Amino acid sequence: MENIAILGSTGSIGRNSLEIIDKLGHMFRVVALAAGRNTRILETQIEKFRPKIVSLERKEDAEGLRQKYEHESVRITFSQEGAEEVARFEENDIIISAITGINGLRPTLAAVDSGKKIALANKESMVVAGSLIQNMAHESGAQIIPVDSEHSGVFQCLAKERMENVKKVILTASGGPFFWKSRREMENITLEEALQHPRWKMGKKVTVDSSTLMNKGLELIEARWLFSLEPRQLGILIHPQSIVHSLVEMCDGSVLAQLSPTDMKIPIQYALTYPSRENSLLPSLDLSQVKTLDFFEADVDKFSLIKAARLALEEGGSFPIALNAANEVAVSAFLERRIKFINISEVVMEIVERHQKREVLSLEEIFDADRDTRLMTQNLLKERY
Ligand code: MG
C-alpha cells in the first residue's frame, strides 16, 4: 500500500484523485491533505480518509478545525508553510501537486526536494521554474509524472522511446467554447459563457485559460521542461473532440498518439499507478460513436495568447514568469468582473511585449520577477479599465 499526499485536495483534481483512490481502495492510503479555504469539503475528506496531517490557507480556519477534531490524531496546520509541511510529510510515497497557479510552487518544490514520486497537475510551477524543478528532481531522485492530460499522453507515447528519436511533440486543444466565434462576437463574452467548457470539467482558472487558449500556451512551456524539448519541437493542434490528447512524431515518420475518453480520472489514475496500470472505472472509448476526429490550426490572430506564450517559450529566462503572472492577474480581474474577456489577452500581450528579460536562477529571482510583473499588470488594469 502506498501513502498519498494531495496538495489542493478540495479542487477539481484533488476531488477526482480522492475518488480514484477510494475506488482503488487496497492500493493507496491518504496520509496528508493541503486545501485552501474550503473547510466544508476538507472536513468531509478528513472524516472519510482519516489523514494524519492537513493544512488550510488561513489560521482561523485551522483553529476551527482543531477544536472540531481535538480528540482525533490529525495534525492541523495552515498557510504556505503548512502546505509545504504536507508536501514534506515523511510518510508520503506519492505527492499529488494540484494547487492552482504560482501558489503551488513552494509546496511543489518541497515535494520534489523530498525525492518522492510527484503526480504533477500544477502546470504553472513548471512554467515559471521548470529548470529549477528538473535540477532539483535530478538531485533528489524525485520522479515527476504528469497529470495534465496532454502531457500524460506524451509521457505514455514516450514510455519505450529514446528522446533523441523524437522529432516533434504536438499537444491538442479542444479550442474551448469560443473557437468558432468571430473576433467581433468575442467582444461580448460573459463570465458565465467563459466558464462553460464544452469538453472538460475543471476549476475556474484553467477553464478561463482554456477559453483564451492560454492553457495551451502554458502547456507548451510545461512540455518543454517535462520532456527536455527544444521550443521548435513543440506544436499545437485544435481538436474539438478532445479524444486524441497528444501526438509524438518520431524521426522515422511514425506518429504515436494517445487517445482516451475525455475525463481527467484517466491521466490521474495513470500517474498514481505508474508504471503499472489498473482497470478503468469509465466506459471504453467507442470511436464508432465519435465517428470523426477533426484537426485545425490554431488561429493565433484571434487567440493572441498563443503568440504571447510562443514568445515566452522561445525567449526563456524571466519571460514565462511574466507571462504567467500577467495572466493570473488578468484572469482574477475577469473572474471578479473587473475586465472583459477580450481584455485578458490584451493585457497579457502588452505586459509580455513590455517585459525586459532577466536571468532567473534562484527561487528568489523567480518570485521577484513574479512580484514585479503582478504590480505592473495591476497598474495597467487600474490605468485602463
Ligand atoms: Mg491539459
Is 31 found in the same domain as 97? yes
Q: Is pLDDT above 90 for 200?
A: no
Sign of CA dihedral 214, 266, 134, 368: positive
Q: Give the pLDDT of residue 201.
A: 80
C-alpha distances (whole Å) from 87 to each of 152, 215, 255 are 22, 25, 37
User: Measured in angstroms, how far is the CA atom of residue 65 from the centroid of ligand 1?
Assistant: 34
b/e map of 177-188 (b: 16 or more CB within 10 Å)? bbbeeeeeebee
User: Measured in angstroms, how far is the CA atom of residue 216 from the centroid of ligand 1?
Assistant: 7
User: Measured in angstroms, how far is the CA atom of residue 42 from the centroid of ligand 1?
Assistant: 25
Is 287 found in the same domain as 333? no
DSSP state of 25: T
Q: How many structural domains is the chain composed of?
A: 3
User: Measured in angstroms, how far is the CA atom of residue 123 from the centroid of ligand 1?
Assistant: 9
Whichever domain contains 142, its CATH number is 3.40.50.720
- 252-287 pLDDT, tens digit each: 999 999 999 999 999 999 999 999 999 998 999 999
User: Measured in angstroms, how far is the CA atom of residue 356 from the centroid of ligand 1?
Assistant: 29
Q: With cut-offs at 50, 70 and 90, classify the pLDDT of residue 26.
A: confident
Residue 344 CA to residue 114 CA, distance in Å, equals 37
Q: What is the mean pLDDT of the chain?
A: 96
- Of 116, 131, 146, the residue that ends a domain is 146
Over range 103-128, report the average pLDDT.
97
- Of 88, 120, 146, the residue that ends a domain is 146
Q: Is pLDDT above 90 for 89?
A: yes
**Global pTM value:** 0.95
Is 138 found in the same domain as 36? yes
Residue 325 domain-assigned? yes
Over range 349-353, report the average pLDDT.
97
Q: Give percent of the chain with pLDDT exceeding 90.
A: 95
- 307-322 pLDDT, tens digit each: 999 999 999 999 999 9
DSSP state of 72: S
Residue 306 domain-assigned? no
Q: With cut-offs at 50, 70 and 90, classify the pLDDT of residue 198.
A: confident
Is 153 found in the same domain as 295? yes
> Which residue shows C-alpha cell 504560482?
102
